[in-house]
Structure 1
Amino acid sequence: MTTRDLVLVALFTALVVALGAVPGIPVAALPVPIVLQNLGIILAGAVLGAWRGAAVAALLVVLVAIGLPVLSGGRGGLGVLGGPTGGFILGWIPAAFVTGLVAERIAPVGSPLGRTFLGVGLGGLLGGIVIDYAAGIAWLLAMAPNEAGLPLGERLAKTTLGMAVFIPGDLVKIALAGVITHALGKAYPIARR
């Protein structure tokens, strides 16, 4: 990584941390709140590209692991990574990578708005929803006690259905990321790699 890469990774990590200043919104009985930080992860991948976007998410995970209160609500520490939201947080690394990979393939920097929107949209859907939700749901299934003795398939169906409440908000975040990525690409083109 060049010095410029390190600066961009640090800058976008700071952006994700700043988005954590907005407290998470609890959703019914679910152990996972609605947060804005995943918008920052999608933006990191879309604007910086796959590798630097994943570096942003990895640096954030390291900051959480050493106990810094960088997550929504001032949370941090190994207890958070080992808790119900840990899978979603760890899932940010491949989510940013996939978002960046798709965005840089479909919409190179300087693409028209429609193409940028398509690239970031597909990248955000695959990375920010499919990959991150898969990691988070798998983590929840592994961590949550099966007190009712339900079969794995039924637990998976119920957990996945419970997570569906987050999809509309995440779609809005992905659309916003597409617009911001396009605007940044015009104002300050950053070569994705």
Structure 2
Amino acid sequence: MATEHESVELVGDELVGNIARSALFAALMGAGSYVSFPNPISPIPVTMQVLVVFLAGIFLGPIWGGASMGLYLAAGGLGAPVFAGGSAGFAPLVGPTAGYLWSYPLAATLVGALVHGGVELRDYRVGTPRLVSAMVAGTLVVYTLGTVGFAYVQGVSLQSAFWAASAAFIPVEAFKIAAAVGIVRSDAIAAQ
């Protein structure tokens, strides 16, 4: 007596892949928070997190790049030590660097949308001007929300917050943009 079995696909392979890649980038974001060193002219540490935000938007696109950063925030908020310096919980989400944290899903979504030309995931191997412009736009989101959040929590003027929370990081962000371009270009070469 022969029996036939039909399999039912509950979740498609593409969705599973996107979820896995989002989880990977959320984990990379957490690891990037441990690469932290003090900024001599700001109370906010330098981390590699904005580089991961760029790469999430570029490699995952706007929807899954933003989702990966949302997953990162959820993990940290629920107690995983993934915020700068290994901090976790609710306090970092309302503290002096909260504006940065909340900007990450928005920035990854924006970078992804600009690189991919919309919400659909397309080839991320675009021209360098487009790639750099997308990351500059993402940087503006991060530092605008970071500055406003810092000013609000610390009770200082926007001008003071800008100098303490944004201007001090511009050279480091230029390095992160250059690093992201290098990573994307090296991936494009490896894919050929």
1:180 aligns with 2:191: no
Superposition pairs of residues 1-193 of structure 1, within 5 angstroms: 2-22=15-35, 24-28=36-40, 30-105=42-117, 109=123, 111=125, 115=127, 117-127=128-138, 129-146=139-156, 155-162=157-164, 163-187=166-190
Q: Any gaps of 5 or more consecutive residues in structure 1?
A: 147-154
Go from structure 1 to structure 2 and tell me whether the alpha carbon gap of 1:5 and 1:136 turns closer, same or farther (over 3 Å shift): same
How many Å separate the matches in 1 of 2:90 and 2:171? 30
Q: Any gaps of 5 or more consecutive residues in structure 2?
A: 1-13
Contact preservation (8 Å) 2:106, 2:141 = yes
SS at match of 2:184: helix
Runs of 4+ in 1 over 4 A off after TM superposition: none
1:150 corresponds to which residue? none
TM-score by structure 2 length? 0.83
Q: Following TM superposition, by how much is the alpha carbon of 1:169 offset from its aligned partner in structure 2, in angstroms?
A: 0.5
TM-score by structure 1 length? 0.82
1:119 is matched by which residue type in structure 2? R
Q: Report how many aligned residue pairs link the two structures.
A: 175
Deviations 1:21-53 (A, max 9, x none): 32x222246331111111111110011111111
How many Å separate the matches in 1 of 2:188 and 2:28? 17
How many Å separate the matches in 2 of 1:132 and 1:144? 18
SS at match of 1:50: helix
How many Å separate the matches in 2 of 1:111 and 1:45? 13
Percent of aligned pairs with the same amino acid: 27
Give me the CA root mean square deviation: 2.1
